[in-house]
A and B are shown apart, each in its own frame.
Chain A
Amino acid sequence: MKLKLKIWRQPNAKSSGKIVDYFVDGIESDMSFLEMLDILNEDLIQKGEDTVAFDHDCREGICGSCSLFINGEAHGPDRGIPTCQLHMRMFKDGDEIYIEPFRAKAFPIIKDLVVDRSSFDRIQQAGGFVSINTSGNPVDANTIPIPKHDADRAFDAATCIGCGACVATCKNSSAMLFVAAKVSQYALLPQGKVEATDRVLNMVAQMDAEGFGNCTNTGACEVECPKGISLETIARMNREYLSASLKG
């Protein structure tokens, strides 16, 4: 197929950016979306132009690097996957495709489609852990039985890949789904309960300090999340936050 691409180009954080048109030809339906961009970049190198920068690494849907906003949707038209698992069979010959970075105040653009998501790291550093020593002598892993149901729900929350689609898709640029996933994972496990109060307060404070917006329950994040993180996690975080605030 032949496609018209409209891609956000921005040389660096300080300069302004704009949409630039490109054409690609010979795209096959079993190619991945990123392989289509590889073909464009190979073409640009041949022409002596600078390539389109985009984040990607594992290309199997788990590292959370890729972060493209395609035709107005985080990770494009398919559901339950990040951009690297989007395949060209979702498009047809002659399509015009808009490709933009994940946009949010807390995700400044580095170049073209690459954004800085280190705000997510800082939120985790504020409390996304259990304070136990790694070199100590912990007790046997089977000492505390954990109901399978709780363990499974903790796992479901923990599958978040930290890509930022929830932020990019939210009209308020809220990071609630991301933060709630981490808070929920620990809140559901006995090991996490010990520090639950401080954790939720500190992580939410950092989230606010980074400039993420508030949640107005539109549910867009849940729809676009490539790992199916549920809105229930946000409800759980709100409960955790409320009870932590009361304990204050």
Chain B
Amino acid sequence: MALDSKIPSGPISDKWTNYKDHINLVNPANKRNIDIIVVGTGLAGSSAAATLAELGYNVKTFCFQDSPRRAHSIAAQGGINAAKNYQGDGDSTFRLFYDTIKGGDYRSREANVHRLAEVSTNIIDQCVMQGVPLAREYGGLLDNRSFGGTLVARTFYAKGQTGQQLLLGAYSAMNRQIGRGKIKSFARHEMLDLVVVGGKARGIIARDLVSGEIERHSAHAVVIASGGYGNVFFLSTYAMGSNATAAWKIHKKGAFFANPCYTQIHPTCIPVSGDHQSKLTLMSESLRNDGRIWVPAKLEDAKAIREGKKKPTDLSEEERDYYLERRYPSFGNLAPRDISSRAAKERCDAGFGVNKTGEAVYLDFADAIQRYGKEQAFVKGLDANDKALIIKLGRAVVASKYGNLFQMYEKIVDEDPYTSPMMIYPAVHYTMGGTWVDYNLQTTIPGCFSIGESNFSDHGANRLGASALMQGLADGYFVLPYTIGDYLAPEIKTGPISTDLPEFVEAEKKVKAQIEQFINNKGTKSVDYFHKKLGKIMWNNVGMARNAKGLTDAIEEIAALREEFYKEVRVPGTADSFNPELAKAGRVADFLELGELFAKDALHRNESCGGHFREEYQTEDGEAQRDDENFAYVAAWEYKGKPSDAVLHKEPLIYENIKLATRSYK
């Protein structure tokens, strides 16, 4: 099957407008006869559900959390990009488009990214109208901050809780439609399979996580907005429940899975403290606006710090190595995430790490506190030579910008980041890969759409900071509501879809069989045992640096672990009750397949690009070396029974507006 990306013709800046002008529409009266299922209620899912319902479609939403408001978009901290150019610093739609393509290391689709940049400004207008309290300046206008990989300040924010505020905005729009009866919300429900009838997505099988009941739900289209698959690493900044099950089930029913090896390892997370650890916590990239990253310049100082004989504050400026500022002078501490993460790993591997495990670097606010303190003293006409006063004033400014993050750090690490620098280390944070979609955000299954982090299209091989919130809301509020109409226009005469069709019966039978298998397996090991083992294989062999041997080993080890899982897993409790272990078992079963495809994809891509770093392909100074001649394509995998049998389809990436170039932030 040839992949058709359905990119409209014409100049890039007119594509979306022209396309919208000529797309098929569904008349308002007919929308009432069309049902849409949305799986996942994060930024993409809730914004899509609210908008589709408002247009007049009948929407059903599904989330595994106890309320749509708790989807993991809530945890996004730093901000959301938009090409508003409110700061007058030279921003434009083109610049956001260009930065995103370059940030993604030239592995994303031009037309999709340009559309994203175009609608970015609408998102901010929309959210402000909804009552989202974004940060403001004293004049009452919106404030901006700067994020990695850009030279302008285009990031809108709400302290360190931007995701929370945007999600609550989308959730409120959903609530309005729930109140009007246009959305039926199914919380504590998990999608366990897609139902395909006559080649079209026609519904899902879901489990009520409270009663254990297996339910059939039909619709004229199914939208997957279930997020990313970073929990394949077990330890990550994802929520404990974040899972790939919905995305993986549609893959098994015919949706191609694109670029699974493109994973974002975020440079600023709280380091791992021990084996008991269940999750990692991010310290927002926004902190790099003001924090400076360093390690000791001398190995003996690093050793002394690790042994507790020296403190970071004992080291003079000359004894510190601000390695990002040294290596990337023009972007400095705001180098993109993939580059910053690798640079931290490089220093720690060379022995300069600063915590007990040797896997941590400093993120230091001492300079920022001084700078803000002096600024405040000047503004208030106070004594700029009073050191204690400067620190007090400076800390207050830092607290107003990042207070909740500093508090979070202190609670977890039990150290005060205002007086001693934070310790940070990279951790798995986001997956750029995902379900392959065309320009309409439709998967290779007609009627099945994929939006937000669960699709692959906008971030290439590396996502820039503050772009995930932008993409989630762009897809949900401004893209899908148009493109889905084009698919649904011929469906107005279809009428209600019966859940008694044999395809529903068959899908339900398979779901029930797997549940029975888990419950009756009575093995010797818990689900977490397997999940942690999988995570270790992934982190060691498919993590920040990869090579052919490690990847080949990983593929074998994951396949063997999967076999052991089905023999040895023990799931307590029953199928017809609230049973979190049973829910986990199904998710880990899917990760055990996805992980293998992930490694296979990483092995086939004989180049380094963005978050995918192959040790064999690097420049002399350790930067990623792309191979545009052979790998400027999207790798879309077709399911054929086992991950090892997956068939590769290529969508060539054609750059008509941006010249492919070596990505440099020096």
Contacts and interface: CB of A to CB of B under 8 A. Distances in A.
Interface string B133-162: 111111111100000000000000011010
Given A58-B72, A89-B414, A124-B175, A114 B578 contact: yes
A39 B276 contact: yes
A25 interface: no
A189 B127 CA distance: 13
Nearest to B137: A148
B75 A191 contact: no
Interface in A1-31: 11-12, 28, 30-31
B573 A50 contact: yes
Contact of A12 (B126, B173, B570, B578): B578
A58 B278 contact: no
B24 interface: no
Contacts of A130: 129-131, 172
Interface stretch (B62-70, B246-254, B325-333, B384-392): B62-70
Contacts of A28: 274, 276
A30 B173 contact: no
A45 B570 contact: yes
A96 interface: no
B282 interface: yes
Contacts of B55: 135
A128 interface: yes
Contacts of B194: none
Given A135-B54, A147-B140, A159-B161, A60 B408 contact: yes
A23 to B, nearest CB: 17
Contacts of B572: 44-45, 48-51
Given A38-B528, A85-B412, A134-B51, A118 B130 contact: no
A147 B140 CA distance: 5
A117 B47 contact: no
B547 interface: no
Contacts of A56: 240
Of A62, A111, A116, A141, chain B has the most CB atoms within 10 Å of the CB of: A141
A243 interface: no
Contacts of B412: 32, 85, 87
A60 B129 contact: no
A210 interface: no
Given A60-B281, A62-B75, A158-B168, A141 B84 contact: yes
Given A28-B274, A138-B125, A51 B573 contact: yes
A245 B573 CA distance: 51
B10 interface: no
B164 A159 contact: yes
Interface residues of A, number: 79
B173 A185 contact: no
Contacts of A125: 175-176, 178-179
Contacts of A32: 278, 412
Interface string A129-140: 111111101111
B136 A146 contact: yes
A106 to B, nearest CB: 14
Contacts of A152: 133, 136
A135 B175 contact: no
Scoring B124, B128, B137, B526 by chain A CB atoms within 10 A of each residue's CB, the highest score goes to B128
A118 B240 contact: no
Interface string B7-41: 00000000000000000000000000000000000
A118 B164 contact: no
A129 B65 contact: no
A59 B526 CA distance: 21
B568 to A, nearest CB: 12
A85 B411 contact: yes
A55 B164 CA distance: 19
A248 interface: no
A111 B165 contact: no
B179 A126 contact: yes
A62 B74 contact: yes
A142 interface: yes
Nearest to A129: B172
A55 B64 CA distance: 11
A118 B63 CA distance: 13
The interface residues of chain A, by DSSP majority, are classed as loop
Interface string A79-92: 01100010101000
B607 to A, nearest CB: 34
B22 to A, nearest CB: 18
Contacts of A126: 179
Nearest to A157: B133
Contacts of B135: 151, 155
Interface residues of B, number: 80
B322 interface: no
A34 B66 CA distance: 18
A141 B67 CA distance: 29
Contact of A148 (B140, B277, B570): B140
Contact of B131 (A55, A135, A192): A192
A93 interface: no
A62 B67 contact: no
B210 interface: yes
A135 B51 contact: yes
A61 B408 contact: yes
Interface in B382-437: 407-408, 411-412, 414
Contact of B273 (A30, A55, A57, A63): A30
B570 A141 contact: no
A110 B578 contact: yes
A60 B172 contact: no
Contact of A53 (B66, B273, B478, B580): B580
B99 interface: no
B217 interface: no
Nearest to A44: B572
A68 B183 CA distance: 31
A58 B74 CA distance: 9
A64 interface: yes
Contacts of A137: 122
A121 B159 contact: no
Contacts of B138: 148
Given A45-B572, A89-B414, A135-B55, A38 B278 contact: yes
A63 B172 contact: no
A178 interface: no
B196 interface: no
B414 A87 contact: yes
Given A30-B414, A117-B66, A151-B133, A51 B580 contact: yes
A55 B187 CA distance: 13
Contact of A51 (B158, B173, B478, B581): B581
A137 B129 CA distance: 10
Interface in A108-123: 110-111, 114, 116-118, 120-121
Given A44-B572, A45-B570, A147-B140, A65 B70 contact: yes
A120 B65 CA distance: 14
16 contacts: A32-B412, A34-B278, A35-B276, A57-B65, A62-B161, A63-B70, A63-B239, A85-B411, A87-B412, A121-B178, A124-B172, A130-B172, A138-B126, A141-B127, A189-B131, A189-B133
Given A38-B276, A134-B54, A134-B173, 16 more contacts: A28-B276, A32-B278, A50-B573, A58-B240, A59-B279, A60-B408, A111-B577, A121-B178, A124-B172, A126-B179, A129-B176, A135-B51, A135-B55, A145-B140, A155-B133, A155-B135
Interface of B: 47, 50-51, 54-55, 65-70, 72, 74-75, 84, 86, 122, 124-131, 133-142, 158-159, 161, 164-165, 168, 171-173, 175-176, 178-179, 185, 187, 210, 237, 239-241, 273-274, 276-279, 281-282, 407-408, 411-412, 414, 477-478, 481, 526, 528, 570, 572-573, 577-578, 580-581
10 smallest beta-carbon distances between A and B, as pairs:
A145-B140, A129-B172, A155-B133, A141-B128, A154-B133, A111-B578, A63-B70, A57-B239, A138-B125, A151-B136
